[in-house]
Structure formats: C-alpha cells, structure tokens
Chains A and B, each alone.
Chain A
Amino acid sequence: MHASGPQSKGRLLKLKLNGRWREDVVAESELLVDYLREVARLTGVKIGCDGGECGACTVLIDGEAVPSCITLAARCEGRHIETIEGLATQGRLSRLQRAFHEKLGTQCGFCTPGMIMAAEALLRRNPTPTNSEIRAALSGNLCRCTGYVKIVEAVEAAAGQLHDR
C-alpha cells in the first residue's frame, strides 16, 4: 500500500499536464479542479455547481472527458491531464476552438471549456459522429445561455460534417 497513516496529509504528485510532466505537493483531500485552478493556474477549468452536475470543470484524463470537481488530484498520479489551455498550439486555435468561434458556439463562454473538452474526447475516438452521438457526448454539460443548437453545430463543423448552407 502507498499509505502511511491518517496524519499524513500531503504527497508528491507527478502527472503530465497538457503534454508536460510536472511535480507538485498536494493535499490528499485536494480536488483535481482546485489543483488545476489554484496550483497550475489553469483557470479555463470552471466550477459551476457543487458536484458533477454541470460539466463546466470537464478535463481529459488519459483522453477521457471527466468532471474534475469530483476527482481527487492524488488519484491522477502518472496520468495525462488535458485542459482547454492545452488545445491551441503556438497561438493557433484547435479545430474545435475555431469552430466554436466561427459557428457562434459560445455566448457567455462559461460552459465553453467543458463543452470543448467533452467534444474533443468524442472527436478523438469518433472523428465523424452523428448529431445524436454529439448530443449524447455533451449530455453531461449544461449551457445556461441555452445555446445548444450552435454548440452542436460547432462540433459538427469541426468534424467536417456541416456543409455551408
């Protein structure tokens, strides 16, 4: 077992964050979302509810989209965490980011990072999803501006499915 005793509260956490390995001392009770926002300063990860209902905190762990607000940072040892900040390369937006911009998939923008990360996981495993597959993949993410139509269109555009009308 990796445990010592209940009095031990911190541990060295080594993980890959947006492609780069890093090490930090984290409390064992620290949530991944707090680690990402407060320690790594990746504030694109949002906190929208009090426990896994809104999807604003969605990040990729080893390529799978999960809510970071109910994930313990200490359980991410050795894993690859990706946030919205990791998608653009050298200032160039990713295809999904570009599609959200061009198809007006963003209104207030608060849900956007979570939406894009959930969609990113979908497009990596299924590059040509149907409309209902996109809706299913985004079903854990809430948009309070209710801009779902444009969001789904943006994902379709990124997948190269939406022909100009």
Chain B
Amino acid sequence: MTSPLSEFHLAQPRTVKEAIAARLEHPGSRFVAGGTDLLVNMRRGISGPDLLIDLSGIDELTEIKTNGRGVTIGSGVTIATLARNTLVAARYCALLQAAEAIAGPGHRIMGTVGGNLCLDTRCIYYNQSEWWRRANAYCLKSRGDICHVAPQGQRCHAAYAGDLAPALLVLGAEVDIAGAQGHRRIPLGELYVEDGRAHLVLADGELIAAVHLPSDPPPSAYAKVRVRRAVDFPLAGVAVALAASLANVSSLRIALTGTNSRPFLLAGTELFIGRPIDEKLLQEIDRLVQKQVQPKRTTIVSANYRRAAAAALARRMTAKLFAERMA
C-alpha cells in the first residue's frame, strides 16, 4: 500500500460559485482539478488540506469557445483535449506543442489548462518525500528556515515549470479569474511573481476560469529540454512568436519557463523590430536570454547548462520560425 494520504473530505461542486463558496468557508481547503501535481505533493506530505474541492465536475469550465475576437479556453479543459483541438492546432502552434510536451500521456488525460498554469514551483530540495525533507531540516518553501539552493538569500528559488504559460504568453493571452466578488481579467504575465514560495497572485477563493487568446497571432513554436523525453518537467522551456515582413522582424516575443520562479516574457525584444533576421540578431537574442534567466541549483542539472540551453532554444526556434516563413 502507498503511505496513506492524510485524511480529507472531497467536495464536488457543480458550479464555480459553489466551489468558491466552499473554498472560502474552509480555510484549510484546496482546489483540485486533474490532481497530477497536487496529489503527488500530498503523497509526499508537502500539502495536507482537510478539504479538497474537485473542480472536474464543473461543466462551465470545460468549454473551448471561439468568436470574432479570439478563442476562450476553459481552465477545466484537459491537456489531451487541448492537444486534439483543431482550432488550437491551426492557429496556436506553440500552445499545441506545449500541450503535447506536458508530462506523459496519462497525465495529459487527467491534467487541465488551469492546473498547468497554477503548477506549484519545483526544487530538488522540495519535491522529495517527507522523511527526506525532514532529514534535511525542510526548506524555506515548506516548513524550514533556509533555502538550501541559496542559503544566504531571503527568498525561495524553486522554479516554475509549467509548459502552457510561456506559449500563452507569446500568444498574448489573458486570464479570467473568478472570485467571490465576480470576475477579473488580467494579462497572463501578471498572474505570476518572482517568488518560489508564492508565485501566483490569486487571492483565497480565486480560481482561473478561462484563458483568452487573440484571434490572429503570429506563427509560434514551443520547445523544452529535459532529462527524460516524457513525464519530466522542463529544465528550460522556450516559446517564440515571430512575425516577419520580408526578411525583417515585425514582431518578436520570447517567453521562458523552468528557469525562474515564474514564466516570463523576455524584455527588450521590441528593439529587434525592423532588424534583419541574421546571425548577429540571433546572437543578441542568445545574450538577452542569458542575461534575464535566473536558473539556480534547483534541478539535477547545473544552472549554467539551463541558462545555455534556454538561450540556444530561443536562438534556434527564432531561426526555425523564420526559415519556415520563408519556405
């Protein structure tokens, strides 16, 4: 038998409103969608809610809708459903590639868009069994006083490792957040802050209801590096969206995951507008990525490798998108 989960109650609301009310009524509760991240952490004693609020029975969260202004993807849409959607495949290539690269086939059947966006941050000192963490005096992210990755520092450096977020960032996505006071809509980038302990700006009782995508994004792509080609989280993941006019950049967005405590859009790419896409430009992209990523020793692979890999992915994917456009 597996070591049993600490006992909890399971609530299965049918509406977002009921889910939020249950969450606010029970301070020790957590939302659960696919459970592929949370239940692993619960098995490891990292999280021990007394009430799990199951979002999987809420029909209003599972739709993919389109209108003239773009596409709305419900947070309860599973990764496998997203990867099979023809509209996503046709228009949002980076999102399709990110969905196909998440974990393993079984996780994609269970996991959801909202769950992937809200994925907990990860670190080799955190994603361990209870006895391992206890023997190591825990860590700053959970029950401990120091960050073993940066013992002199004041913050947790656990890395965000969701795959959908960078793809959605370069595609210009916004998220619809539901709370007790109603809905609010923010650019996806504003959902995250650079703190491994609390990287989401969601307040108690808030949940992501949907993701909105603009209707006509430029060509895009996503790729990541990892040790095992399935199941593993990205050591570094990069999404690129490139629009070019003749051989020059007309818009370029690059977003990263796996290197920082949040996924983020690379700053400064607007300076490349109007420039020809040549080796010099690709080298500048490489340098820009290396300057802005902040990988720490949170994975079994060195921080330097992840920094170099992120830069190489950004460079290669920009070149590839350009080549495909010219083909």
Contact A9 B7 (CB under 8 A): yes
Question: Does A139 lie within 8 Å of B230, measured CB to CB?
Answer: yes
Interfacial residues of chain B within 127-141, with CB under 8 A of chain A in the complex: 129
Which listed residue (B8, B52, B54, B104) contacts A139, Cβ 8 A?
B104
Whether A29 pairs with B35 at a CB distance below 8 angstroms is no
A 49-75 binary contact with B (CB < 8 Å = 1; else 0):
011110100100000111101111011
Would you call A8 an interface residue if the criterion is a C-beta within 8 Å of the partner chain's C-beta atoms? Answer: yes
* Given pairs A1-B18, A51-B40, A52-B39, 15 additional interface contacts (CB within 8 A): A1-B12, A1-B22, A3-B9, A5-B9, A28-B8, A31-B5, A47-B2, A50-B43, A51-B43, A65-B106, A67-B107, A70-B43, A72-B52, A140-B105, A140-B231
B44 CB-CB contact with A under 8 Å: yes
A75 and B56 contact, CB distance less than 8 A: yes
**Which residue from A1, A5, A30, A66 sits with its C-beta under 8 Å from B14?**
A1
Interface size class of B (residues with CB under 8 A): 35 or more
A75: nearest chain-B partner, CB-CB: B54
A45 to chain B, nearest CB (A): 11
Closest 5 CB pairs of A and B: A140-B104, A51-B40, A139-B230, A3-B11, A28-B10
Which residues in chain B, 1-55, are within 8 Å of chain A measured between CB atoms? 1-2, 4-14, 18, 22, 26, 35-36, 39-40, 43-44, 50-52, 54
Once the chains bind, are A52 and B40 in contact (CB under 8 Å)? yes
Contact indicator B50/A58 (Cβ below 8 Å): no
B-side contacts of A139, CB under 8 Å: 104-105, 229-231
CA distance A38 to B1 in the complex (A): 7
Q: Is the CB of A67 within 8 A of B129?
A: no
CB distance from B32 to the nearest CB of A (A): 8
Number of A-B residue pairs at CB separation under 8 A: 119
Question: Is A22 close to B, CB under 8 A?
Answer: no
In the bound complex, CA of A133 to CA of B2 (Å): 32
Query: What is the minimal beta-carbon distance from B73 to any residue of chain A, in angstroms?
Result: 20
Is the beta-carbon distance between B9 and A28 smaller than 8 angstroms? yes
* Closest-CB distance, A47 to chain B (whole angstroms): 6
Query: Is there contact, CB below 8 Å, between B5 and A29?
Result: yes
